[in-house]
Amino acid sequence: MRRSLLAARALAFGLTMLPARQGAALGLDPAFHRPLIGPERAEGVVVWSHGRSLAGEDSTTPTPPYLRVLRDSGWDVLRFDRLREDDSLGRSTRLLVALTARLKRQDYHRIVLAGQSFGGFLALMAADDTDNVDAVIATAPAAFGDFQDSYSTWRLNATRLYPLLARVRRARIMLFFFHDDDFDPGGRGIESRAILARRGLGFAVIDQPAFLEGHWIASSGLFLRRFGDCVRDFAKDDGLAGEFFCHPSWGDAPSAALRLPRELLRPPTAAPALLAAIGGSVPAAAATRTDAAAGDIWYGFYPNGREILLAIEAVHGQELTAIYAIGPGIDRNEPAEWSRRTGRCDGGDMVFAQSGHSTLRFRLRDDGGLAATWISPDGKTKMKGGLRRIDRLDLATRTAANGGQGQ
């Protein structure tokens, strides 16, 4: 749908849309290219606030994919876009509070403020200033610089956060803190949980979740896969009192969405030869198992939210053949697929490099898993992932749940 039609629909609901430089919009802007549902039929409205960069306009950045889960569950999802030069905590919070009041007058059943980094601070500050906010979802909240470039103010990302949590009027609060976040002084999860528990409000603190690293990881497909449903359930839990817990299961075992050939149901024979070829060793705990349990199949995922499965079929000296499967992406044009790849053992790596295909490199880890590197056919893009060793029982269980059929 053209942006002009979206703008017209937004104006019909009284939302603020102003022209801005670089094709951005200021004020409340529909987050996705589809009509708004409206306050009478929507589950509620989510207003997402982007971060603030010193190098560019974050108002032009994509909406994080995890908000699609709320969109697809019947919520209206909006963006609060600002220009960098006018974006301060005080000014932007006042504007966000005013916009929230407008949404309240339109009789939205629920009003949820979400935000990344600087936007997370804005969402919390608005929840401090008004009773109109029902819930806040703040991912990697930070407003005072990172360790490398802003050491003198970096700790304020913690010391200014805690008073906000202590003053929130009535909104339930969901916080995400990530490992390897240069904006995080550390320890914020423990202190935030203690503060919110004392308040008696509904809350969730997801502190250093496994597999998710870095300040911007909430904008990844992997975050959508592992926490999208949890965010949706938290946003809708009007009667929540006390702590809300997330237990993401995606990525724990091959899902029914992962296409696999029937050949993978046959007994494996190649794993020990492969380990010898790349100079690895079978972990002590696996040495007493069958060849299959010793590990010729590995399963994991990429940061973009696609599952990975690698199954070695045969090893001849340094040469090997394998089945490589990837699950569907978060977009419709990224279907699940599998292929048979030929490669070789090279300096401790398994390398699959064929003309016209992506290059795959897998290095055996000490724990028996694999560190994966995907390289695009033109060599310009790389992506890393991790895989753990699985056995045939995992695949048999998965296949039975999928109707008992390989593909």
pLDDT tens digits, one per residue of 163-190: 999 999 999 999 999 999 999 999 999 9
Q: Is 361 helix (H, G, I), strand (E, B) or coil?
A: strand
**Residue 319 pairs with which residues in a beta bridge?**
316, 344
Regarding predicted confidence, which is higher, 280 or 4?
A: 280
Q: How confident is the model at residue 24 (pLDDT cuts 50, 70, 90)?
A: very low
Nearest to 364 by CA among 285, 281, 264, 273: 281
pLDDT tens digits, one per residue of 344-385: 988 889 999 988 889 999 998 888 899 999 999 999 999 999
CATH topology of domain 3-236: Rossmann fold (3.40.50)
Roughly what angle, to the nearest 10 degrees, separates helices 118-129 and 89-105?
60
Q: Give residue limits of the domains in the chain.
A: 3-236, 262-401
Q: Record the tokens describing residue 288, joined without a space.
A: 């007493």
**What would the mean pLDDT of 10-37 be, rounded to a whole number?**
63
Instruction: Please give the CATH architecture assigned to the domain spanning 262-401.
Output: Beta Barrel (2.40)
Nearby residues of 356 by Cβ (< 8 Å), 6 or more positions away: 377
Mean pLDDT check: name the lowest of 53-57, 288-292, 357-361. Answer: 288-292
